[in-house]
Chain A
Amino acid sequence: MDFQERLKTLTEGAKYDVACTSSGVTRKGKRGMVGSAEACGICHSFTADGRCISLLKTLINNYCEYDCQYCVNRRSSDIPRASMQPHEVADLTMQFYRRNYIEGLFLSSAVIKNPDYTMEMLIKTLALLRGEYRFNGYIHVKAIPGSDEKLIQKLGQLADRMSINIELPSERSLTHLAPDKSKPAILAPMNYVKNGIIQNKEELKKFRNAAEFVPAGQSTQLIVGATPEADSRIVHLAQGLYKNYSLRRVFYSAYIPVGNETMLPAVPMPTFDTGTGLIHKEYGPLLMREHRLYQADFLLRFYGFTAGEMFKTEEENLSLHIDPKCHWALRNLEKFPVEVNTADYMTLLRVPGIGQISAERIVKARRVNKLNFENLKKMGIVLKRARYFITCNGKMAEKINFQPESIELRLTDNNAVGPYSQLTLSDVAIA
């Protein structure tokens, strides 16, 4: 196989890992080295599915010992196999980086021989890139569950971010579909990295030249829709990970059948209709579910919400038709309407349709002026949803029937599962 073919094969094996962020660490350029890092992250391109490309996301090899049912690289999968040498990975990274195609490297690997051996391969590649190639850009590396702590330590000193993917949201599903992995084998390294980061921060305070350890923090991925866990369980799990393991990000990946799975629910193989530009209508709702989970995740991280506020029971799912903040507001209508001229920042953030930028602008502008709806509009505050939940100087926007049913009806997004698909009468009749 020539190099281009190998790159293609290994990228196929890596692309279902949705994380492609390059954020979390600022590092200036240095003479004699190549690269820098920006805390806000930089997107270098976007794939046809609208996802950001910021890193060269690839595998060292895809000859996997494991047989996880959801994974394209599993032992029993009938796919071409390939590998790249450490110097090939390093060379390609530099060639892409110098042309500004990428922000850095996201390196991962199938489990070859055993977790420790695989980790050593990853370490060897990153050490070459950081050492001989003098690479100072961003590196995200995926650690292998069940490997030795010393190797995690070594790897963490070469990378900016480390991820250990949980993939399946419950232990039961994990045992069932990923027999080679176990919950303790995943959580132990996560815990080690968490403590390592805390310890490293202390060291850096004392010794300015101490080696950094995973400065951009750790992240994980959960596959959604391959197993029966409800959104409530997933969001509670994410909350626990943020709290107990100080994760920077939890990524959610709508389960995409990768061919000849036997133990997984028969999700229809999605197809893309090039004529209409629509995805198979049965697949649309799953992508919307993933989108709603990201929205709920943002509520956890930036809006001061708890999982408990979003769900009444453990088996509840997020609404596909209405976003989680709207949904919460409709259930807690006694907290509204909120007066924009007096409500504090955190209260403004809870208004559907008002995000961080809008809330900041309101707080700034009302220092000198009483705000009315006209002012808000001119300032670029989107009132489509917010108008139902706010007052300006005690007045509501228009004659609004302040009843949950009435507001919900107006806010329901009829295209909630679109642009992918829309139900028609005949679909309902078949169901």
Chain B
Amino acid sequence: MGDKLTKREVDVLFDGTFEGFLCVVYSFYYEGIVPLSIQTTDEYQPSITLTEYFIVTDNDRARKVEKAIVKKISQDIARRVAYAFLADAADRYMNMLYYIILGFKVGHMVDSHMQYDFVLRVHKLAREVGREGHKLTGFCRFAETAQGIYYCAITPVHYVLSILAEHFADRMIDQSWIIHDKRHNKAVVYNGHEYTFVEVSPDSKPPVMAGNEAFIQNLWATYFNTLAIEARKNPKLHRQMLPMRYRGNMVEFSKHI
């Protein structure tokens, strides 16, 4: 692929969607676009040293690349790439590109090539995203609003909303809910049938709660505090299992009874 193409080394810009990133991969193979750096348009800061090149998102191209990754590398690796993409780390795009390029060369064996830093880096990012997503499937706390919608605020390091959306759309299938990522100013809204992702203004007000919400929250805090066995208290282990950064959004840590 791409042997006869004239190669151009440029600083690539794309729209920040996963499809957009896959189009960067497409351009590498079919248009000879070799990125020196990859940035999203909203993070982009113009500079005279950059030779920026904008790659337009095209869903057909994205799908073609996605299918090729599954077929020529593996389903597992396609999933790892999708998870690494959700990481909130500036270096993720370049490392993912190298990882995919190596994948097209060596197939599913790409994960064995741990001598390359970009392989380890993609593994690490995907692992972190997977871990945070899994943890939050447990640590999310919903509160019933006056409109009967269940609202949950989180402040995750990574962009894990899509992982949570899939989980809760299955679990709370008949319930309307919102998960609000306050760090990245995004939210996912589920209406009992389907979910959509929306941007949220940083100064949006928290919703008004239902009448019995405080009562239920108190019951939970009571339960939580009773369950600990005084003789076994172990603050260090507690912090390891449930890092402080999650606690701000968890009702059992904000109520003192």
* A residues in contact (CB < 8 Å) with B: 3-4, 7-8, 11-12, 15-16, 28-36, 38, 40, 42-54, 56-58, 92, 95-96, 98-101, 103, 137, 254, 256, 270-272, 277, 279-280, 283, 287, 361, 364-369, 375, 378-380, 419
Contact = CB atoms under 8 A, between A and B. Distances in A.
A47 B226 CA distance: 9
Given A15-B229, A16-B229, A29 B238 contact: no
Contacts of B143: 99
Contacts of B241: 43, 46, 50, 52
Contacts of A28: 170
A47 B228 contact: yes
B141 A379 contact: no
A137 B232 CA distance: 29
A101 B220 contact: yes
A51 B170 CA distance: 27
B101 interface: no
Contacts of B229: 15-16, 47, 49, 256
A369 B115 contact: yes
A389 B90 CA distance: 39
Interface string B165-191: 000101111110000000000000000
B223 interface: yes
A54 B242 CA distance: 13
B170 A42 contact: no
B222 A53 contact: no
Contact of B222 (A7, A15, A42, A361): A7
B238 A53 contact: no
- Say whether chain B's binding surface is mostly helix, strand, loop, or mixed: helix
Contact of B174 (A32, A361, A379, A380): A32
B218 to A, nearest CB: 7
B171 A48 contact: no
A7 B222 CA distance: 8
What's the interface size class on B, roughly? 35 or more
B114 interface: yes
Given A365-B112, A368-B112, A96 B232 contact: no
Given A7-B223, A33-B173, A50 B237 contact: yes
A53 B224 contact: yes
Nearest to A31: B173
27 contacts: A4-B219, A7-B219, A7-B222, A29-B172, A31-B174, A34-B172, A36-B171, A46-B241, A46-B242, A47-B229, A48-B233, A48-B238, A49-B234, A49-B238, A50-B238, A95-B216, A98-B150, A98-B172, A99-B142, A99-B144, A137-B171, A256-B231, A277-B235, A280-B231, A283-B231, A379-B114, A419-B236
B170 to A, nearest CB: 4
Given A15-B226, A45-B242, A45-B250, A54 B174 contact: no
B113 A368 contact: yes
Contacts of B134: 40, 42
Contact of A48 (B109, B138, B235, B250): B235
A46 B238 contact: yes
B232 A43 contact: no
- Say whether chain A's binding surface is mostly helix, strand, loop, or mixed: loop
B147 interface: no
A335 B64 CA distance: 52
Contacts of A34: 172-175
Contact of B137 (A42, A92, A364): A42
Given A49-B232, A279-B234, 19 more contacts: A12-B226, A15-B229, A29-B172, A34-B172, A42-B138, A45-B139, A47-B228, A49-B229, A50-B234, A54-B138, A96-B219, A99-B143, A100-B141, A101-B251, A137-B171, A279-B233, A368-B109, A375-B115, A379-B114
A47 B141 contact: no
A4 to B, nearest CB: 6
A77 B232 CA distance: 22
Contacts of B141: 99-101
- Which of B140, B170, B232 has its CB near the most chain A CB atoms (within 10 A)? B232
Nearest to B213: A99
B183 to A, nearest CB: 19
B125 to A, nearest CB: 13
A365 B114 CA distance: 6
A29 B150 CA distance: 18
Nearest to A420: B234
- Which of B109, B171, B175, B222 has its CB near the most chain A CB atoms (within 10 A)? B171
Given A30-B173, A99-B143, A45 B252 contact: yes
A242 to B, nearest CB: 26
B239 to A, nearest CB: 9
Contacts of A367: 109, 112
Contacts of A44: 138-139
Contacts of B142: 98-100
A46 B175 CA distance: 26
A211 to B, nearest CB: 22
Contacts of A32: 174
B220 A49 contact: no
- Which of B139, B152, B170, B223 has its CB near the most chain A CB atoms (within 10 A)? B223
B136 to A, nearest CB: 10
Nearest to A52: B241
Contacts of A54: 138
Contact of B170 (A29, A47, A48): A29
A190 to B, nearest CB: 27
B240 interface: yes
Nearest to B179: A100
Contacts of B115: 368-369, 375
A283 B233 CA distance: 12
A50 to B, nearest CB: 3
A52 to B, nearest CB: 7
Interface in B16-31: none
B226 A8 contact: yes
Contact of A49 (B109, B233, B251): B233
A7 B225 CA distance: 12
A415 B227 CA distance: 27
Nearest to B173: A29
Given A48-B238, A364-B112, A272 B150 contact: no
A56 B231 CA distance: 21
A49 B228 contact: yes
